[in-house]
Each structure stands twice: as structure tokens, then as C-alpha cells.
A and B are shown apart, each in its own frame.
Chain A
Amino acid sequence: MTLLGSGIFKGMAVTFRNFVGSYFHRERLPTNDYSWRTEGSLPQHAGDYPKEEGEQLRDTTTVTNYSRNFPMLLHDGSEPMDTIRCVACQICERSCPPQCIYIEKSTEKKEDSSGKMQFYPATFDIDVSVCMSCQICVEVCPFDAIVMNSQFELSTPNRFGGLLLHQGDLLKSNDYYHKIHPEEAAARDKRIADEKTAKEAKKKAAAEAAKKKAEAKAGAETEAGDEKKEVAE
């Protein structure tokens, strides 16, 4: 039989060790400590809160390569609306679990960044007060037009319109995407390029096959023509 109360003292020794230890080891600290961050330096560790506007979580290193907050729309060039990737197919609108995307398709087509005539979204709104950051829209989009942003400084005094993001707020360049999610963006670009080359190769092969077929056909026709001539003679 041990002394009554010795268990409590053992426990107190542990709390004492943690209390003193928290001054020397960061991992003993139950809360995140921001105070050590010198003015203007970028956050280096998980949980460091970005201080400046636009300072992205990406700079908090490893933690956030896949971090997701709300979706954004990608464009490829300097003129956002001219190079928007979204073609207003509305697949994301239909798949969004809480139904927070609203898209209106344009009535006429216009050239996209690769010069193809495409529809574009006349209206593209996301209600981020409803969005639950699930990334389903990103997964279903066949055009790699929508990806997750990691911007979280979104608080607004206007509770009705302020949280409804319009196309202008949502459009971000591919370079920005590379900045916040480098690995993911690189993988995505590689996949798009691969798909493109595969498609082109297929097209080329198809064209060649068609050409060969046409040649063969033409050859057969001339032969047949010769034969006919012979018969006629």
C-alpha cells in the first residue's frame, strides 16, 4: 500500500516538468507561440499566422502543400477574362454538395487562350459562407479550371454580399497557383501537357491513318480505273 496521495504528487511532478519545460522546449507548449516571430519575417512553422495581407500560408512550409480554403478560377494570361479556363460546363455546379456555386453560361463563344472558340461563364459566383472547402468541384472539373485557394483573410463587415465571391474575386493566374501550391500545380501542369501531347499524337496518328487510307483508296481507284479502261477497250 503506497502512501495515499502519492499518485497526486507524481502527477504534480509531471505538471511541474511541463510548466518549467515550456520555457525551454517549444513542444512542451500547449499553445502556439507567435511572439518569437520578428517583425516582417515570414512565418516558418506550422501554425504561424501570416501577418501581412496577401501573405500566403504557402510560406509556412511543408504543412500546407495541399491546404485548401475556398475555390478560385484559373486563367493563363494577363487578361483574366480572355484566358479563363472555365468553359461554363456547369459540372461543378451540379456536383457541389452544399450547392454554393452559381453559373450563368455566356450566350456566344469567344476565343480562349489556345485560340479555340469556347463558351465562358457570364456569371460565376461562389457563396463562401456556404462552401465547405471540400474540393469536390476541383476533382470533377474536366478542364482544370477551378482549384483551391489558401487565402483565408476573408472576413468582411457585410454579411450579405461580402461573402458572395464573384468572378472577379475568384479569378487568379496560374502563376499564383504555382506560388501557393507548387507541387500540386506542377503535377497538374504536367498532366495537362501530357494529355495534350497524347491528344496531339493521337490526332497525328489518326491523320496519318486517314491519309494512308485515302492514298490506298486513291491507289485502288486508279487501279480500278485502269481496269475499267482495259475492259472498255
Chain B
Amino acid sequence: MSSPTATAPNYELIQQDGLETSLLEVSMGPHHPSTHGVFRMDVKLDGETVVDLQPVFGYLHRNHEKLAENMSYLASMPFTDRLDYFNSMTNNWAYALAAEKLVEIEVPERAEYLRVIMAELTRLVNHISLVGFFINDLGALGTPLLYAFREREKIMDLFEQASGARMMCNYFRFGGLRNDVPEGWLDRTREVVDRFPDFLDEYEKLLCENEIILSRTQGVGCLSRDLAISAGITGPMLRASGVNYDIRKVDQYGIYNRFKFRVPYTDDDVGDCYDRFMIRMLEMRESIEILKQALRDIPGGDIIGKAPKIFKPKPAEAYARVEGPKGELGFYLIADGTPKPYRYRVRPPSLINLTVLRDMCLSQKIADAVVILGSIDIVLGEVDR
């Protein structure tokens, strides 16, 4: 599973008057608080320096793809929630997009706007909790994470009001959404969105100048632009390495062409943990811009288009992707004319972003390996599926 791009430096063990030293092999995980789930890192250490690192995953494998190939298209929708359980809305969207490509359903205006609103709220949820966890990995136990969770809870309440569940929203349907948002929901959302920048200001004051954070993250876990591109890294991690690539701009799926927003990316080739942290802070500001525009322009009307009663696409294949908060989330479907997909494949951003972990960790300190892992932003539900 190691990437072929870097090799472990050849270490000569120090021999000292009959004292034999050797590399220390540590198995971090699968139950390690810093690994964000059941994930293991086999680390070889020379003192405190990481000489080699092997990520080991698969502990949370739930057979998602094969399950989906044995049930109707609609029945897989609630399972997509459980991929990356922070971002069920964007997972739903990617899957709905793929299915809509198969049968070509028109999505009504209002549904498109609500989809954007939900996706951007999801991005806020994901980035704010990621930043909290990241700081938690640095050793600031609790405080920033709890502030983040406090704000996240407000958005979770909005999700619950609209879809009935905080995390497993299962809200998107082929051709639209399951139900319209309840009365007054848009106003409450406007309120939350308007107040979010205040919190971000405060959060930035709390974190961005903190000398401990700066010294722990700057220059740690660098990922060069070339490696990021050739390893297929996507999302904030790619942009932190200096590539201006955002699927919302590239594909303009849904109605993203109607909104004015900027894509933050670094213009140097460093791509360290601090860059990845800051990119997410900046992206939240842009999400708020999108949300404001969407909440201003949202029209009334239907929320679900004319979808066939029994979803049975003709033999075809479709790949649809969205800019999930973690990167490019794609669904690849092959239909064979039955109500079940012949092939159902997920392109998980977490897994692919995780592949460069070794390259980023080599010759860093063991404590930094935890920070680097935190800055990648993985969710094991998505890595293992």
C-alpha cells in the first residue's frame, strides 16, 4: 500500500561499544484516538523520527458497493449517508446526480437552490469540525473542538428540521428532494448564516495567530504540487498545495454557475499543514457567500421533478462527481436494464487523499504524524466503505 514515490532513507544503525540499537516499530491503532476511527499506522521510528509508515485500513469495511448492487437504486440512498457521515448531504447529491444522468430527469429550480444550500451548509459543518479535530490532534484538548461543535449543532438543527435527522439526512431524491423545507426554515437558515462570520472571526482570533499552532504546523507535512497532482489528490488538500481546481467551478454541476465565489488556493508550492488548515478557514467564508446568494434568490415551486415511479434505467453508464468538502466524490453506475445497478462504484476522496500520508510523514516527528493525518481530513466510513 505504500506509494512508490518515496523510499525510506537507508538508516545505519548506530553501534556503540557493544550497545546495539535498532529501529522501533510501533503499531498506532486501530483504536487510537488520533486516527479518527479504526485505522492503523505501522510506523518505524528512529528515536522520534518517522523512518517508514504504512497505513493499514479496512477495519470498517461494510460492503457498501456490493450491497448497493443487490438492491434498488433508491434503497442505496440511505447507505450513501453512511459513507462520510459528516457530509451526508453531499454524498446524497453525488449519488442523485449519477442516477439523474442515467435517466435524465429535470430538477426543478427550487430543488437546485436547496441542494446548493444544503451542500454549502454541509461544507461549513465539515470544515468547522475538521478544524476542531485538527486542533485537538495538536493537543488542544476540547476547547476549540467544543466551540466548533457548538456552531455545528446549529446547522445540525437546520438539517433536522428539514430532513428529520441530524446526520443521516437521506434527503435527496432522484429529480429533487424528499420534502420541502418547513415553514420559516429559510429565515432560520439566514439567521444562522448571518451569524456564522462572527463566530469565524472569533475562531480565527483564537487560532490563526497562536504561536504554538504556527510552530507545530508550518513546514510540517509538506506536499508538493507535482506529487499532489500525480497522486490524484482533490479538494482543499490539493488547493493547499497550490493547484486551482474546484469541481464547482470546473463542472459547474447543479446551478453553481449562478453564484459568485472565489476558490482559495495557495500560490506557493509548500502545502504544509498550516496551508491545509487555512484553506478550510477561507473556504468557509466563500461558502457563506454562496449561501447568502442562494438564500436571496431561492424561488418557490416544486421540489421534485418527474421521476419514473419504478426506477429502471436503460442499459447505460454514468459517472457524476461533486466537490465534496473532502474532495472529489464520485459515483459510477452501470445500469443493465434491471431495477438494480450492475455496477456501483464510489470514488472516495478520503481514501485517495490518504495515499500520500507516507510521503508527507517521512522524516517528521511521530507527534507530527498525528497532526498530518488530522490535516488530511479522513472519515473512515468513506475510506473503507
Contact = CB atoms under 8 A, between A and B. Distances in A.
Interface of A: 4-8, 10-11, 13-15, 17-18, 27-31, 46-47, 62-68, 95-97, 132-136, 139-140, 148, 183-184
Contacts of B179: 66, 184
A4 B164 contact: no
Interface string B115-155: 00000000000000000000000000001001101100100
Given A7-B214, A97-B75, A136-B75, A62 B161 contact: yes
Contacts of A10: 205-206, 209-210
Interface string B265-278: 00000000000000
A6 B208 CA distance: 12
A63 B161 contact: yes
A133 B206 CA distance: 39
A181 B147 CA distance: 32
B71 A66 contact: no
Contacts of B211: 4-5, 7-8
A66 B205 contact: no
Nearest to A14: B206
B161 A65 contact: yes
Contact of B168 (A13, A66, A133, A184): A133
Given A8-B210, A65-B182, A136-B75, A15 B143 contact: yes
Contacts of A13: 205
A97 B150 contact: no
A11 B164 contact: no
A188 B205 CA distance: 49
Interface of B: 71-72, 74-79, 143, 146-147, 149-150, 153, 157, 160-165, 168, 170, 178-179, 182-184, 188, 202, 205-212, 214
Contacts of B205: 10-11, 13-14
B381 to A, nearest CB: 14
Contact of B74 (A7, A30, A95): A95
A11 B210 CA distance: 7
A183 B182 contact: yes
A31 B157 CA distance: 14
Contacts of A28: 150
Contacts of A134: 77-78, 168, 170
Nearest to B71: A97
A98 B84 CA distance: 19
**Interface of B (DSSP majority class):** helix
A116 B139 CA distance: 68
A11 B138 CA distance: 15
A136 B72 CA distance: 11
A15 to B, nearest CB: 6
Contacts of B161: 62-66
Contacts of B71: 97
A136 B171 CA distance: 11
A89 B77 CA distance: 23
Contacts of A14: 202, 205-206
Contacts of A15: 143, 206
B143 A135 contact: no
Contacts of A17: 202
A64 B202 CA distance: 30
A117 to B, nearest CB: 26
A14 B205 CA distance: 7
A136 B160 contact: no
A11 B182 contact: no
A8 B164 contact: no
A135 B170 contact: yes
A15 B202 CA distance: 10
Given A11-B205, A64-B160, 14 more contacts: A7-B211, A7-B214, A31-B146, A62-B188, A64-B164, A66-B163, A96-B75, A97-B71, A97-B78, A132-B78, A133-B165, A134-B77, A140-B74, A184-B179
22 contacts: A7-B208, A7-B209, A8-B210, A10-B206, A10-B210, A14-B205, A27-B150, A30-B147, A30-B149, A47-B153, A62-B182, A62-B188, A64-B160, A64-B161, A66-B160, A67-B160, A95-B72, A97-B76, A132-B78, A135-B164, A136-B74, A140-B74
